[in-house]
Amino acid sequence: MPGLSLFPSGTKRDLLLLIKHRGSISLDDAEESIGLTRTTLREHLGVLERDGLVARTSNRYGRGRPSMVYSLTSEAESLFPSRDHELLGSLLAFLDAAGRADLIDTFFREYWSNRQADMTLRTAALRPADHEGRVRVLSVLLEEQGFMPKISSDENGIVVRECNCPFPEAVKQTRLPCRLEAAFLAHILETPVKRVSYIPDGAAACTYEFALANP
């Protein structure tokens, strides 16, 4: 489990595995299975909760004090093995071989259209010439979607580096996501785009340059 191996503390890893196997746990469950004190376990679970990997809810049984129950968040679930990316790649290859490239095209265009609509809502309150505001909102959106963005700007223009490709299997089958991404960024920043580096060509990031018009 590559994701879980990133945890330096074996206790946090053990807690995540325990929750994964049982669906949810209480402090009593953790104490019984792991053997550490409740105070120590509560501290570890608190860190996992702070990091967005564990969610805490209260369950009431009878008239006693409610007990705390811990479950995994969607972010924690992503640490466990998944073959969704392989399945997507196989599906795209199947559709292409079956002569249904039109469905692939329609799917990705609708997906990027939804992203654009989301961005439009987030920037609705900004002035048209507020490039700094658009950059801030774009950075948040790209971070949420797994692009690991690095964005810089000055009086000459904007540089957007997407250091991670969230759709590697899709890009293996079709470069349409790449073309749509360039068009998406150009639309959001309201200026033509030039892509100067490309992950599928071996670069560390997909880098886009935008030259702002002189006032």
The Cβ of residue 7 has, within 10 Å, a number of other Cβ atoms equal to 17
Where exactly are the structural domains of the chain?
4-77, 84-211
Which strands make up the sheet holding 54-59, listed edge to edge? 25-26, 67-72, 54-59
Instruction: Give the C-alpha separation, 160 to 10, whole Å.
Output: 37
Inter-axis angle of helices 101-122 and 131-144, nearest 10? 130
More confident residue, 148 or 84: 148
Binned at pLDDT 50, 70 and 90, residue 85 comes out as confident
4-77 topology per CATH: Arc Repressor Mutant, subunit A (1.10.10)
Tell me phi and psi for residue 145, to 5 degrees: -95, 5
Class of domain 84-211: alpha beta
Q: What pLDDT digit, counting tens, does each position of 100-119 carry?
A: 999 999 999 999 999 999 99
The angle at the Cα of 19, spanning 16 to 25, to the nearest 5 degrees, equals: 130
Cα-based torsion angle of the residue sequence 180, 183, 189, 190 in order, rounded to the nearest 10 degrees: -150
**pTM of full prediction above 0.75:** no
The 3-state DSSP class for residue 190 equals: coil
What the block records as the tokens of 110 is 């609708």
